[in-house]
Amino acid sequence: SPDKFNATLYDAITLVIITPQAFAGMWINAFIVSVLCGTWLKKKTFSSNEKILLVLGCSRFCYLCSTWIYSFLSVIYPWCFYVHPIPPLFAAFRSFFDSSNLWASACLCGFYCIKIATFRNIFFIYLKVKIDRIIPWLLLGLLLSSLFFCILAYDFTDKTCCQNLSSTTLGNLWASSVRRDEHIFPILLITGLAFTSSFMAVTFSVLLLLFSLWRHKHKMQSNSMKDLSVDAHIKAMKSILSLFIIYSINFIFLVLMLIYATKTENPVMFLTSILLYVFPSVHSLLLILSNPKLEKALLRTLPCVKCKVCMK
C-alpha cells in the first residue's frame, strides 16, 4: 500500500542519514568511558567530575545504540514491532537512557556552578563543601528517576500494544490501527517532562555562573588585581554555555517532535528526528576538548588511528 511504502522509505532514508551520526556519537562516548575506566584502574579513585562524565558517557552510548537498533529494525524487520514485548522494551530502554543522559548533563552543569561560582550564601557554601559527598547520591537519584520514567514508558506502550494486537489478525496486520506513532506520543511526553526539568536546571546554573563571573571580574577590576579564578570562571562558562546552546536547540526540536509526533512522514518530523542525534555527539566532543585529561588522550589516539589507516 502507499502508506506502507512511504513509511518504509521514510525509515530507510532516516537510517542512512543517522547511521554515521550514531556511530560517531557511540565512538566519542565509548572513548570517554574507556579513558575514565583506564584512569580508575591506574589510580583506583574517581573524582566527582569523572563520576558524572562516566554516567553521562554510558547513558549516551546506550541511548545512541538502542535508538540506532530501533531504526535499523524499522527498515530491515518492521514486523518485529508487532510482537510483544519488543515495542514496550524498546520504549523503556530508550526512555531510561535518554532521561539519564539529560539529567547527567544537568548534574554536570550544577557541579560546575557549585564548584566555581562564588557566593556568600550559607546554603551555597554548604553545597560547595559537601558537593563531593552529594554527587554519588545525586547520581543514584538520577538513575532511580530514569528508572521511574522507564517503567512509565513500558506501561504506556505495553497497554497500547496489547489493545491494538488483540484486535489484529495476520491477514490485515498493516491495515489495522496498529501503528508505532500511536504509542510514541506518551513516551515523548514523559521524555519532555524530564527534559524540561533538566533544561531548567541547566538554565539556572548558567545564570548563576554568569552573575558570579560578572561580579568577580568587576571586583578584580575595581581592585586592579588579577585572579586565576577568573580564568576558571571563563573556562567553565565556555563549557556550560556550549551545553546551554545545544540544550536550547535540542529543546526546540523536542517540542517540534511532540507537535508532529503523529505525522511521521512530515518534513519537520524527518528533520527533527535526524538533528536530535547531534546533541549527544557534539556535546560529548566539546566535553573532551574542554577536559585536559580527555583531550590529551584523544591527541594520543589520533596519530595511532592515522598510522593504522596508512598501513592498510
CA 277, CA 64: separation in Å to the nearest integer? Answer: 8
Domain positions in the chain are 2-165+176-304
CA 213, CA 9: separation in Å to the nearest integer? Answer: 51
Q: What are the CA-CA distances from residue 67 to residues 59, 168, 282 (Å)? A: 12, 26, 17
CA 48, CA 137: separation in Å to the nearest integer? Answer: 11
Q: Are 243 and 202 in contact (CB under 8 A)?
A: yes
CA 10, CA 126: separation in Å to the nearest integer? Answer: 53
Q: Which residues fall within 8 angstroms of residue 301, CB to CB, at 6 or more apart? A: 31
pLDDT digits (tens, 9 = 90+) for 122-177: 888 888 888 889 999 999 998 998 898 888 878 877 776 655 544 444 333 333 33
Q: Are 95 and 187 in contact (CB under 8 A)?
A: yes
Which of the residue ranges 108-112, 138-142, 248-252 would you say has the lowest mean pLDDT?
248-252
Q: Which residue has the higher pLDDT, 131 or 188?
A: 131
Q: What angle do CA 309, 288, 22 make, to 5 degrees?
A: 65
Q: Which residue has the higher pLDDT, 240 or 176?
A: 240
Please tell me the CATH superfamily of domain 2-165+176-304, with its number.
Answer: Rhodopsin 7-helix transmembrane proteins (1.20.1070.10)
pLDDT digits (tens, 9 = 90+) for 175-186: 333 444 455 566
pLDDT, mean of residues 92-101: 85
CA 130, CA 89: separation in Å to the nearest integer? Answer: 38
Residues 7-12: contacts with CB under 8 Å, at least 24 apart: 7/264, 7/265, 8/75, 8/78, 10/264, 10/265, 10/270, 11/71, 11/74, 11/75, 11/78, 12/75
Q: Does pLDDT of 308 surpass 60?
A: no
